[in-house]
Amino acid sequence: MPQDKVLTYNPHPTTPRLVLPAGACDSHVHVFGPAEYFPFDPARGFTPVDAPKETLFALHRLLGIERCVIVQSLIHGYDNRVVEDAIAAGGGRYLGVALVPVDVPDAELARLAATGFRGVRFNFMRHLASPAGIEGVVAFTRRLAPYGLHLQVHFESCLVHSLAEPLARSAVPVVIDHMGRVDAALGAEHADFLALHRLMRNPLFRVKVSGIDRVCNSSDYTAGIALAKQLVRDFPERCLWGTDWPHPNHHHVPDDAVLADSLAQIAPDAAALRQLLVTNPQSFYRFDA
């Protein structure tokens, strides 16, 4: 295991220009540590600098974000306590998505749901592959339904073609991370984005228009913004947005204020912005009113 700690986030983000609507939600972040209290998983791929809840809360105050969904990271593996701790400190404004094995007991699913978790995530990336396989995960969704938990999936863009049919058999709603990790440089007519777009016609699915900084290499994220804008336009009631702070496994460290300001282009009027940041997450994640 590498011992050099990696700083994955910008410790000095700039101040955004865009004023977000009241109740705005960051629907995709992680928290790391402090490792002294929440040990990192021995099987993790790298060792990050701590990115604790206090740093996340401070970032959200800067950005004007009042609600959040924290996604458990493989940095902490199946030990979801680090997210539970942040949820408890969030005063009802922070909820979670857990990592669990498919043989997790029903009692633990019930406990997670009662604690403030709204879903479970499975990875289908080369460096984060789920050992359960897609059929095992789809079968597992029948156990999520009684607890009001949804399925969240993170996959390589090329896998959208093979995952679309089994995911459509999920017993619970499915959230697709980071626009399916498409290559934005290939444009909206590329087969992977077209398959994602077809998938989104099914009301079972939601998509996170996060990761504009991951799906393209241009410094202004123009290509990623264009795809996010199209998804928000075509599926306004089923898009969610997040910063993906603190940006693990990334090719650069983005400025979170730049990501927030990009919303002015992704959702270019007040109604669309409120739908994306307030109405959709309120309805889907069930924050306290």
DSSP 171: S
262-278 pLDDT, tens digit per residue, is 999 999 999 999 999 99
pLDDT reported for residue 1: 45
How far is Cα of residue 137 from the mean position of the Cα atoms in its chain?
18
Spot the catalytic one: 244, 256, 261, 269.
244
pLDDT reported for residue 220: 83
**Which domains does the chain show, CATH number per domain?**
19-286 (3.20.20.140)
pLDDT reported for residue 195: 98
pLDDT reported for residue 145: 98
For residue 96, list its beta bridge partners: 70, 117
Catalytic (active site) residue 244: yes
Give this prediction's pTM: 0.96
Residues 6+ apart with CB under 8 A from 1: 42, 44, 47
Segment holding 122, helix H or strand E: strand 117-124
Question: Alpha helices, DSSP H only, in 145-190?
Answer: 160-167
Which parts of the chain register pLDDT below 50?
1-2
Residues 6+ apart with CB under 8 A from 41: 74, 75, 76, 77, 78, 79
